[in-house]
Amino acid sequence: MRERYTLGSLSEGEMPQAPDVFFDHWLEQAVASQQPEPNAMTLATTGNDLRPSTRIVLLKGHDERGLVWFTNYESRKAHELAGNPFAALQFYWASLQRVVRIEGVVEKTSSTESDHYFARRPLASRIGALASPQSQVVESRQVLDEAFARIEQEVAASGNEPTRPEFWGGYRLVPSYWEFWQGRDGRLHDRLSYVKNQQGDWQIERLAP
């Protein structure tokens, strides 16, 4: 299978000093191009056994501080992050022939930030978060469906909106490294990275494809 990469290029002189500014530009273009799930990103973590694992999570916010997603704090990725906070993210926007890689340290978001996002989730998503013991072995799909139905009935009977449980909340990856990849013809792709120097400023470097 062969794909020609001819949709764009990257030039050091056109890159902003702040990588999150350029990322925001590319994300907007991914959304505008109707890329499926443009905020979907692969999260890579490593446990105490040094075996890496990946999964897809959804970006729910980003700024100069980092990139945010939300999940169950008792999941496999949460346990791995508790033992080793270093992680990596990757976006793949196939229709634009682009990849973004980010590496850094992960920290939990504040309770206020997690509460605010949880309250904005659809009701079914909030009930699902309460019903699912994420990453744990369950006997059957029926167990999950019954837990969901039970909590749904409890919520309806109480008339109160479900609040965020302590085992659920946000994470923020604070970047120390960014890489922007643009496919080019002949497999001579453009790869530009942002690396922090000793002064804390971002330094742009070109990498061989």
pLDDT in tens, 59-71: 999 999 999 999 9
Residue 56 assigned ligand-binding role? yes
Instruction: For residue 198, name the pLDDT band (cuts at 50, 70, 90).
Output: confident
- Determine the Cα–Cα distance for residues 97 and 93; give it in Å rounded to an integer: 6
Active site residue 187: yes
Give the whole-angstrom CA distance, residue 58 versus residue 38: 9
At residue 2, the pLDDT reads: 83
Torsion angle of C-alpha atoms 1, 28, 64, 171, degrees rounded to 10? -70
Residue among 118, 90, 84 at smallest CA distance from 102: 90
Check the annotation: does 204 bind a ligand.
no
pTM of the complete model: 0.94
DSSP 188: -
Average pLDDT over residues 122-139: 96
Q: Is 117 annotated as a binding residue?
A: yes
65 is in an annotated binding site: no
pLDDT of residue 186: 94
Going through 75-152 in order, the beta strands assigned E by DSSP cover 86-93, 98-108
Cα–Cα distances (Å) from 187 to 25, 55, 182, in that order, read 24, 27, 10
Q: Is 108 annotated as a binding residue?
A: no
pLDDT tens, position by position, 143-156: 999 999 999 999 99
Q: Which helix (H) or strand (E) holds 178?
A: strand 168-182
Q: What percent of the chain is predicted at pLDDT more than 70? A: 100
Quote the CA–CA distance of 33 and 36 in Å, as a whole number: 9
What mean pLDDT value characterizes the chain? 96
Comparing C-alpha atoms, which of 92, 103, 21, 98 is closest to residue 62?
A: 21
189 is in an annotated binding site: yes
Q: Confidence class of residue 187 from pLDDT cuts 50, 70 and 90?
A: very high
CATH code that applies to domain 12-119+172-207: 2.30.110.10
Q: Which of 120, 150, 187, 206 is catalytic?
A: 187
